[in-house]
Structure 1
C-alpha cells in the first residue's frame, strides 16, 4: 500500500499540506467575508451569491485550462523535461487570458443583464450589479494567478501559492472590515466596499505570485516573449484532445450548477440566503480533501510520467481510502458544529432552520461527494482520462441531476432541502460509473510520449536542482 511508501507520505506533507493550509485560509476568510456581508442583510447575501454564479462559470473555465496544464506539467516533471513544463505554462496562459477578456467585458458592461437571468428582484439586481462590475476588473489577473499556481503545484512547489494566497485573502478580509462598515476612518461603502476589497486583493495576489517565480528563480521563468509560443503542433493537438473534454466538462457542470442555483432562487430569496450560508460551511469541510486531491493529481501524474505503473495503482487506492475515512470524520464535525456556526449570521428564523437542515444533509452526503472528487479530479484526470470523465460528469448531471432538480422545483414545488436530496442522485450516478473505470486500469495514459516540441533541451537537470 502507498501508506508504507516514504515518497507517498512525503507528498502528503510537501504537496497536500500547503494546499490544505491555502484552502483553509481561503474558506475561513471567505466564511468571515460572508459573515460581514451577511450583516448587511439577506438581500446583500443573495446579491453576492447570485453574482458569484456568473463568476463561478469563469472560475470553472480557468480550472479546466489550469487543470489541463497541471496534468501535462506533472507528467513532464516526472519525466524531468522541464523545458516542456514551461511550454505548457505559456500555452495555458494564452488560453486563459483569452477567456478572461471575454468574461471581463461581459461583467463590466452587462452586469444587470447577467443578474436578471437568476432573479427578478430589482433590489438584488441593483446591489449585485455594482459588485459584479467591480469584480470583473480582476478577471485578467486571476487567470494568470490560476495558471502559475496550478503548474507550481505540479512541480512540487505548493508553498509559493499557499503563502501568496493566504496573504492576499488576509488583505481581502482586512479591506472588507475597513470598507464595508467604515472602520478606522475609512468610508462605509457596504457591498461596494466588499467588491473593491476583492479587486485589490486579487491584483496583489497576481503581482506576488509572478514576482515570486522570478525572485526565487523557479523553473517557470520566461526569458523571451517567444517562449510563450514555443510549442509544437504535436503538443497543441494532444493538449486539446486531453484538455478540451476537461474544459467542456467543467463548463457543462458549472452551467448545471447555475441551473440548480436558478432553481433555488425560484424557491425564494430566503432559500438562496440559506443555501449560500450552508454552502460556505461545506466549502470549509472540503479543505482537507481539496489538498488531498491536489497531492493525488501531482503524485499520480509524476509516477505515470516516470513509468511506475505499480506505484500509480498503489497510490491511487491509498488516496481513495484516505478520502473515504476522512470524509466520515469531517461529516460528523459539520453536524455537531452546525448550530453554533449559524448563530453568527443575521437571518430570519425560517432561513436559519433551512440552513441547519441543509448542513445536516450535506454532512450525510459528504462521503460520496469526496470519494467522487478524489476518484475523478485526483486519479482519473491525472491519468489523462479526460474524455471518460467528461462523459461521466455530463451524463450524471444532465441525465440524472438536472431532471431530478426540475421535477423537485417546478413540478413538485418542494422546499430547498428536498431539492438538495433529489440533486444528490447525481453523485451516486458518478460513483456507479467511475468505480468500474478505475478497476479496469484503462484510465492510465502517458501523455508525454510521442509529443513533438521545438528543440529546447539543455537545462532540465539544472532547473530541477534549483527548484528543489
Structure 2
C-alpha cells in the first residue's frame, strides 16, 4: 500500500509532466526558428495550419478527457476489465474520427484556408502543411489519447521519455527534410510536415507497446468487440463539458485578442510577448494540476475519500509556492527577458509593469485550475463548465473590453478582468468542493449509523 501511495505522490507524478510540457514548448520554438529560415510566409503558414488543427483537436477532448478520468477511476478500483475496455473505447473512437478528420483535411484543406481568407503568398505553404499533417490526424490523435491513458495509470515517466525521443527525431528529420541533406532534397514546409507525421508515428508505436504492457492481464479480443454503454456514458459525461469549455475558451480568446488589438499595435505585441513568457510558470501549474487529476481519479476509484478531498489542498499549496516563485523571478529579470523578444523601448516599457501584475494573476489561476480538474473527476463537470463559460465571456472578455477599452485602462485593465474571472471561478469551485465533501461525510455517517 505504501509503495502504491508513493507512486501517486504529487512530486513523483508531476515532474515528468512538467519536463514533457517544457520540451514541447522549447521544441515548438526551435521548430518555428527552423521554418523561419524558409521565410516569414512559411512561419505564417505553419501558424495558421496549427491553429486550424488545434481547433479541430478540441473535438477529441470529448473522448480523451473523459476516457483518462474514467480509466484512472477504474485503475484505482482495481477493476481491470473496465480499465481495458475504457482504453479500447477511447482508441476505437479516435481511430474512427481520426480517419474521418484525416480524409477531410487531405481533400478539403484548400477550401478551409480560402474560407479563412489566407493570403496568396501564404496559401501554398499552408495548403501543403495542412494537407500532410491534417491528413495524418489519426496518428496525432491516437498518440495524444494513448499517452493520456498511460499517464492515468500513474506512469508519467514513460510518456515523458517517448516525447523526448519524438522531439529529437523531429528536429533531426526537420533539418534533413527542410534544408536537404545527402540524398534527401530540400523540401521546405512540406519537409517539416512530413517530419511531424513521421516522428508522431514513431512515438505512437512506442506508446502503444507501453500501454499494452501496462495491463495485466493483457487486452483481449472481447475488450475490443464488446462495447460497454455505461462506460461510454461516463466518458462522455466528463468529456463533453470539458470539450465545450475548451472550444468556448478558444473562441473567447479570438474576441479578447480583437479587444486588445483595438488598443494599438504596441499593446497587441506586448500582450503576445507577455503570454509567451508566462507559459513558463504556467507549465508548473499545468503539471501539478495534471498530476492531481491522476491522484483524484485513482483515489476516488479506490474509495479513499479522505485522500480525495485533501489532495487539492496539497496540490494548491505546492502550486502556489512554485508558480509565485517563477513569476517573481521573471518579474525581477523582466527587462533582459523582454529584450530577448523585442528591441522596441515602448513595448518593453509597457510590458514591465504587466510582469508585476502577472505575479498576482498567475497565483490566482492555481486554485480554479486544480479544483476544476478535481471536480471534473468526481462528477461535477457540468457546473464547472457552465461557470467557466460564463466567466470567460462575461467577466474575462467582457471585463477586458470594459476596463481596457471603455474606461481606457489599457492592458492593466485587461489583466484586472482576467484576475476577477479567476477569483469568481476559484470561489465557486472552493464552495463546490467543500459542499461535495460535506455531502460525502453525511452519507458515510448515515451508513455507519445504519449498521
Smaller-chain TM-score bracket: 0.7 to 0.9
> What is the aligned counterpart of 1:238 among 210, 234, 257?
234
CA distance in 1, matches of 2:333, 2:257: 25
CA distance in 2, matches of 1:213, 1:271: 46
Which protein has the larger Cα radius of gyration, Structure 1 or Structure 2?
Answer: 2
- Alignment correspondent of 2:88: 90
**Which stretch shows the higher mean deviation, 140-149 or 58-67?**
58-67
CA distance in 2, matches of 1:212, 1:259: 41
- Deviation, 1:286, is 2.6
Cα separation, partners in 2 of 1:359 and 1:167, compared to 1, 3 Å: farther
User: Aligned pair 1:433/2:428, yes or no?
Assistant: yes
Whether the 8 Å contact between 1:372 and 1:431 is mirrored in structure 2 is yes
> What is the aligned counterpart of 1:322 among 300, 307, 318?
318
> What is the aligned counterpart of 2:377 among 362, 376, 382?
382
For structure 1, the residue ranges without an aligned partner over 5 or more in a row are: 446-468
**Which stretch shows the higher mean deviation, 114-123 or 235-244?**
114-123
Normalization by structure 1: what TM-score?
0.79
- Alignment correspondent of 2:109: 111
**Which stretch shows the higher mean deviation, 97-106 or 67-76?**
97-106
> What is the aligned counterpart of 2:300 among 293, 297, 304?
304
- Deviation, 1:99, is 3.3
- Alignment correspondent of 1:78: 76
Larger relative contact order (CA 8 Å, sep ≥ 6): 1
CA distance in 1, matches of 2:328, 2:149: 34
- Deviation, 1:258, is 4.2
3-state SS, counterpart of residue 438 of structure 1: helix
CA distance in 2, matches of 1:49, 1:374: 30
- Deviation, 1:409, is 9.0
CA distance in 1, matches of 2:36, 2:264: 17
- Deviation, 1:232, is 2.9
- Deviation, 1:176, is 2.8
CA distance in 2, matches of 1:123, 1:360: 40
Whose helix proportion is higher, 1 or 2? 2
User: Aligned pair 1:372/2:365, yes or no?
Assistant: no
Residues 446-468 of structure 1 deviation map (CA, whole Å, 9 limit, x = unaligned) = xxxxxxxxxxxxxxxxxxxxxxx
Whether the 8 Å contact between 1:86 and 1:219 is mirrored in structure 2 is no
Cα separation, partners in 2 of 1:220 and 1:109, compared to 1, 3 Å: farther
Cα separation, partners in 2 of 1:41 and 1:321, compared to 1, 3 Å: farther
**Which stretch shows the higher mean deviation, 168-177 or 249-258?**
249-258
User: Aligned pair 1:66/2:64, yes or no?
Assistant: yes
User: Aligned pair 1:397/2:397, yes or no?
Assistant: no
CA distance in 2, matches of 1:51, 1:443: 48
Residues 251-291 of structure 1 deviation map (CA, whole Å, 9 limit, x = unaligned) = 32233334445666788998877766554443333332222
User: Aligned pair 1:283/2:279, yes or no?
Assistant: yes
CA distance in 2, matches of 1:97, 1:84: 20
Whether the 8 Å contact between 2:149 and 2:211 is mirrored in structure 1 is no
CA distance in 2, matches of 1:125, 1:269: 25
- Deviation, 1:319, is 0.8
Cα separation, partners in 2 of 1:118 and 1:373, compared to 1, 3 Å: farther
Cα separation, partners in 2 of 1:442 and 1:399, compared to 1, 3 Å: farther
CA distance in 1, matches of 2:111, 2:410: 28
Whether the 8 Å contact between 1:256 and 1:398 is mirrored in structure 2 is yes
Whether the 8 Å contact between 2:110 and 2:127 is mirrored in structure 1 is yes
Cα separation, partners in 2 of 1:100 and 1:426, compared to 1, 3 Å: farther
- Alignment correspondent of 2:55: 57
- Deviation, 1:144, is 1.5
Cα separation, partners in 2 of 1:264 and 1:304, compared to 1, 3 Å: same
- Matching of residues 133-212 of structure 1 within 5 Å: 133-182=131-180, 187-212=185-210
Cα separation, partners in 2 of 1:218 and 1:237, compared to 1, 3 Å: closer
Normalization by structure 2: what TM-score?
0.82
Cα separation, partners in 2 of 1:152 and 1:6, compared to 1, 3 Å: closer
Paired residue total: 439
- Alignment correspondent of 1:464: none
Residues 51-72 of structure 1 deviation map (CA, whole Å, 9 limit, x = unaligned) = 2222222333334422211211
- Deviation, 1:77, is 1.1
Cα separation, partners in 2 of 1:91 and 1:45, compared to 1, 3 Å: same
3-state SS, counterpart of residue 441 of structure 1: helix
**Which stretch shows the higher mean deviation, 234-243 or 411-420?**
411-420
